[in-house]
Structure 1
């Protein structure tokens, strides 16, 4: 009985996460999509800057210093120094909103919370992308939700 309830809960959780993203087949990964990804990352960067300023003092009252919210980019897990959204159509490119503060971890790629924006999985023969759906979701509200979780930890 417990397993059935667990599976029901997990299916609902997976479905909620999937609703935030658009699955993009390789045949649709083109310059038009690149423009959308660049726009999404620019919107994300603006929200990061605004929310970092808004939440900094609230987070510091919780003894969590140097709140940092940013758009983090990597290719196959490597955070390259000059990586920008211009490389978003390269396989294994990933961008996400990352939230962190001093003392959480020493690992470079571990964050307290993150929201994936775009990920292009290359695969062996075909690639697939997942893109945060701005038309159905509100990125700023999703970031604030993660910040509120951080405040309540």
Structure 2
């Protein structure tokens, strides 16, 4: 019985995760989409900065120092300092909100939690996933993630 409930719960979680994103097909990857991605990433950057300032003292009072929240971008897993949202339509581009605390390394890709914003895989059949702001509140999702991190020991 427990295994059946666990499967239902995990399946529901996976469906909720998929629902957060608008699937974008090859013929929909265009300059209009690029503008939406740029706007999403700018909004995410603003939320990240604001919430980092708001939660920094809460984290420190829980012994979790050096809270950092930022929009992280990479192409095929490689972060490049010059990578911006203007390159969001390139193959294997991915952006996400990264959350980390304690023990940062010199590498910006070392983070504890993340929320996907946009990702695109290119190949024979290009497909992308775009965070759906019309259904979900990105700021609330970041805050929920931060609250969850605070609860963890």
TM-score, length-normalised on structure 2? 0.93
- The aligned residue for residue 87 of structure 1 is 87
The 10-residue stretch of structure 1 (109-118 or 93-102) with the greater mean CA deviation from structure 2: 109-118
Secondary structure (helix, strand or coil) at the match of 2:98 reads strand
Task: Say yes or no: does 1:138 pair with 2:137.
Answer: yes
Kindly report structure 1 stretches of 4+ aligned residues shifted beyond 6 Å.
104-107
> Offset at 1:107?
6.7
CA distance in 2, matches of 1:104, 1:71: 16
Secondary structure (helix, strand or coil) at the match of 1:119 reads strand
Q: What are structure 1's unaligned runs of at least 5 residues?
A: none
Task: Say yes or no: does 1:27 pair with 2:9.
Answer: no
Secondary structure (helix, strand or coil) at the match of 2:111 reads coil
CA distance in 2, matches of 1:54, 1:120: 32
> Offset at 1:105?
7.0
CA distance in 2, matches of 1:44, 1:142: 11
Deviations 1:71-109 (A, max 9, x none): 000000000110000000001000000000122778753
CA distance in 1, matches of 2:109, 2:34: 24
Aligned length: 152
- The aligned residue for residue 75 of structure 1 is 75
